Chains A and B, each alone.
Chain A
């Protein structure tokens, strides 16, 4: 596309080359192509110079030989243009048609040129063509107005050629001053000139004639003005007539309008009525729907009414019908009805009827269930108990009997809380009688088995130790601080195992029965749902709340009881509490009976608390439902057993502290001796138990008390030296603790060992002493001299420590004498030591070691101080070893 610059350029070129010579001026140019031949040519609007500008449309073509040569191809007068067709009002349209002597179709290369051209063409046509003007079709109206924005745009675009623009502007203004004579004026003028063809010859005459004529015309004019007055008056009259006619017409129109107004009003009223009718209709439909809903909700079929009036609860079918009817009634009573509707008398009446049915049915159910519970209770109660097996009777047949009525109970719970509570009480009372009897029988039997065992074992005991019969004391069997022979009767560990098994059987027997009953109650009494306690009789406006609550209750049954978060914990707790209360009512005697049963062991076996603690702990700690009645019952019993256990241990501890020695007491103190049996029994029970910790706590206390006791009693033992008492008892404790391998007692085991060693050393030191006393004294003197500065080699020159003196002292200890001394010592040691502990050899060996040490010391001294004097003791190490072994062997 040609740029604006090029456009200006071509305009300039054409002006210069072609039109300037002819004194013409180019107003607008558009570069166009015809559809058929592609060669561009230029359509120009050209004007001749003033004063009488003639505007023509010129088609210019570029010479084919020389580019710079332009030729006028054709030219038309503007009035030859019949029509201009822009084809489309869009700016982007390139085509336009000109209807001249024939239709020319052009294609403008530049849109701005086209716009400018069309605008200029229009303006020139408007300005200079008289009569039929060319019609512009499909050209934007804005282009055709004088101040078209395109012109301004063009002006802006052509700023480069400003001076040209200015000229153009001036000339255009000039041109505008010229207005063409109209055709008429031209004719008149022509006629005038033709009448006065002489005028050219005589202008003065011509002027005169003209002024005369003008004068005549003036007069004629006045006359005609005067004549026209009549016509004017007439015309005024006509106008007045017309006005009055118009007024009349107007009044008529007004009346029509009034009529129309009435019609409109009426129509509006009718419309309003129609809307009202529609609303009323809709309301009626809604009301109908609502009423239908209410009626369908509150309607109770006749068959169901009958089922409620005369329920047959004995047969399965009757029950089914009654339950179905009852559920329908419940549904109807809880139906979701708008509170406003409840004021309807019919609804109220129906509700009252419901209430009556409900009460009647509830009363029937209550009576029936009441009788059933009591009947079942009596039926079983009348059955004689002949079982001698240690089993708790199973009452699943009662549960089976009652299960079909479960839904009735649920209904009662939701509809009539009072009746429900009453029935629950009756059930508890009836069944608790049975359970009471069962549990008592059961435990009596169990106790009997305990005492049977007791009797059998006691008989054995009595036969074997009839002599002790007189000495049946109150001191319980196994008391640590008391000598064994003063204990009351006890039982064998085999009996303990039997008791333990019996206890296990009792506990195992109780668990399923209690669990079964609990499950049945939860299901039968719907205890896992907390229902509203408010009545569901919705006869007042309050029932809105009741509906909400009963709905939430229904929701509660549908959703599992873990639907909610924090409050659920409380609900659970409440449920557990309720279940526990019920179970407590049913098994009221279980806990005291269990405790009394457990205590029946105590009379038989003082150690009972140990294994009962272990056994019961297993049941309590392993329980899944830690909050159940049975778990808590067992737990309470366990706490009491634990207290008994602690008390038993406390008594043992006390007995150690209070133990007294008798004249004939043995070297091994009674509690040390008894502890072995005690610890082995305890370990047998606790070895694999979770409760080890409880036992170990007491072990520590007991062993510490024993150590204290040994220390204390060793001082006051009647026959045996304290070192020996300590040595033997600590040795005993050490051996026992090593054998028990209780981890918690490791430190005390080490303690026992060191205490034992200490006592052994003390004993040897005390009783072996120095058998070669004088030799020892002699060398003590030697040592003193050495300490005073006498050389060891010069000791023999001292008077008191001469070789002769030494020989004299040595001569006092011949081998035979030494052996005799040792023999006496051995006898003494043998007397000191107890046989049970069997420490004689150990002590003897320790003494031998001591003697050898003393011998070696003396020999070494002699070699140092009297070297070369050939002095020796009268026996050597071989002799010593022989003495010791001879003595040990001979006894």
Chain B
């Protein structure tokens, strides 16, 4: 089974963990606990093929920015999350994308731009058009999601798997490493 290393990035409090946990465990976590780093594995079927997703849920708070280079080096596909209720989280993504392209040293990186918390329509400050145009600029997929209302959550990851498949079609089936943990 092919393994897909997916990294979820974005500013603090945009709902990276909520999206990930909703996808992996089908639970909505209401409480906010800043993540340090969590990794999850989930097997899904995409286009008739079994895939093992290794999802790395990262910290959004500023202290942990030094780790990002490493995440970007190891990840194959990236979920860039902002909250439609906070403009600054949207603005931060530009730098994040540039960093990914720099680390990967290519313009073509599987990526999905995600505007989360779309259930909070009355608190919206980032318009959907704005998100779309940023995605056009990034040349990547875009969706507005809600981890709470379970809107578009699975699509993020399925889309990313398809992007990875398209970019690098499966060659030889190597036996992937079991553990996600990094030995220090």
Contact = CB atoms under 8 A, between A and B. Distances in A.
A864 interface: no
Interface stretch (B31-39, B74-82, B165-173): B31-39
B36 A617 contact: yes
Closest 6 CB pairs of A and B: A635-B63, A626-B62, A642-B36, A693-B33, A632-B66, A631-B63
B43 interface: no
Given A693-B31, A693-B33, A640 B62 contact: no
Contacts of B182: 643
A631 B184 CA distance: 20
A881 interface: no
B63 A623 contact: yes
A145 to B, nearest CB: 84
A632 B63 contact: yes
A400 B39 CA distance: 48
B38 to A, nearest CB: 8
Interface string A607-640: 0000001000100110100110001111110111
A78 to B, nearest CB: 101
Nearest to B181: A647
Interface of A (DSSP majority class):
helix
B63 A690 contact: no
Contact of B36 (A632, A639, A647): A639
Contact of B37 (A623, A634, A639): A639
B61 interface: yes
B67 interface: yes
Interface in A198-235: none
A399 B36 CA distance: 36
25 contacts: A627-B62, A631-B62, A632-B63, A632-B65, A632-B66, A633-B66, A634-B63, A635-B59, A635-B63, A635-B64, A635-B67, A636-B64, A638-B36, A638-B64, A639-B37, A640-B184, A643-B181, A643-B182, A644-B184, A646-B181, A647-B181, A691-B33, A693-B31, A694-B33, A694-B36
A627 B61 CA distance: 10
Contacts of A644: 184
Interface in B145-184: 179, 181-182, 184
A626 B61 CA distance: 8
A185 B28 CA distance: 136
Interface in B37-94: 37-39, 59, 61-67
A314 B38 CA distance: 57
Contacts of A694: 33, 36
A643 B37 contact: yes
Contacts, number: 60
A370 B128 CA distance: 57
A636 B63 CA distance: 8
A691 B38 CA distance: 12
Given A647-B179, A647-B181, 14 more contacts: A599-B184, A613-B36, A626-B62, A632-B64, A634-B63, A636-B64, A636-B67, A638-B64, A639-B59, A639-B64, A643-B37, A693-B31, A693-B33, A694-B36
A225 to B, nearest CB: 115
B62 A621 contact: no
A636 B66 contact: yes
A633 B67 CA distance: 10
Interface in A522-572: none
Given A599-B184, A647-B181, A650-B181, A642 B37 contact: yes
A52 B88 CA distance: 114
Interface centre among B36, B38, B66 (most CB of A within 10 A): B36
A647 B184 CA distance: 12
B58 to A, nearest CB: 9
Interface residues of A, number: 28
Contacts of A621: 34, 61, 63
Interface residues of B, number: 19
Contacts of B38: 646
Interface of A: 595, 599, 613, 617, 620-621, 623, 626-627, 631-636, 638-640, 642-644, 646-647, 650, 690-691, 693-694
B63 A620 contact: yes
Contacts of B39: 646
Interface of B: 31, 33-34, 36-39, 59, 61-67, 179, 181-182, 184
A510 to B, nearest CB: 15
Contacts of A636: 64, 66-67
Given A595-B184, A599-B184, A647-B181, A626 B63 contact: yes
Nearest to A626: B62
Contacts of A627: 62-63, 65
A623 B182 CA distance: 26
A164 B182 CA distance: 131
Nearest to A584: B66
A626 B182 CA distance: 25
A644 B184 CA distance: 9
B5 to A, nearest CB: 15
Nearest to B33: A693
Given A638-B36, A693-B31, A693-B33, A643 B63 contact: no
A613 B35 CA distance: 12
A842 to B, nearest CB: 36
A639 B65 CA distance: 11
Contacts of B62: 626-627, 631
A693 B38 CA distance: 12
Contacts of A613: 36
Contact of B184 (A626, A643, A690): A643
A634 B64 CA distance: 9
Contacts of A638: 36, 64
Contacts of B36: 613, 617, 638-639, 642, 691, 694
Nearest to A627: B62
Contacts of A642: 36-37
Nearest to A623: B63
A176 B182 CA distance: 135
Contact of B67 (A617, A639, A647, A693): A639
A551 B32 CA distance: 46
A632 B68 CA distance: 12
Contacts of A599: 184
B54 to A, nearest CB: 13
Nearest to A620: B63
A645 B65 CA distance: 21
A631 B62 CA distance: 9
B11 to A, nearest CB: 12
A604 B64 CA distance: 28
Nearest to B39: A646
A694 B37 CA distance: 10
Contacts of A620: 63
A648 to B, nearest CB: 10
A690 B33 contact: yes
A617 B59 CA distance: 12
A690 B35 CA distance: 11
Contacts of A635: 59, 63-64, 66-67
Contacts of A647: 179, 181
B124 to A, nearest CB: 21
Nearest to A630: B63
Nearest to B29: A693
A287 to B, nearest CB: 53
A532 B24 CA distance: 51
A890 B62 CA distance: 70
Nearest to A628: B63
Contacts of A632: 63-66
B22 to A, nearest CB: 14
B160 to A, nearest CB: 23
A640 B63 CA distance: 14
The winner among A632, A635, A639 for most chain B CB atoms within 10 A is A639
A32 to B, nearest CB: 92
A826 B66 CA distance: 67
A636 to B, nearest CB: 5
Contacts of B33: 690-691, 693-694
Nearest to B92: A569
A621 B31 CA distance: 17
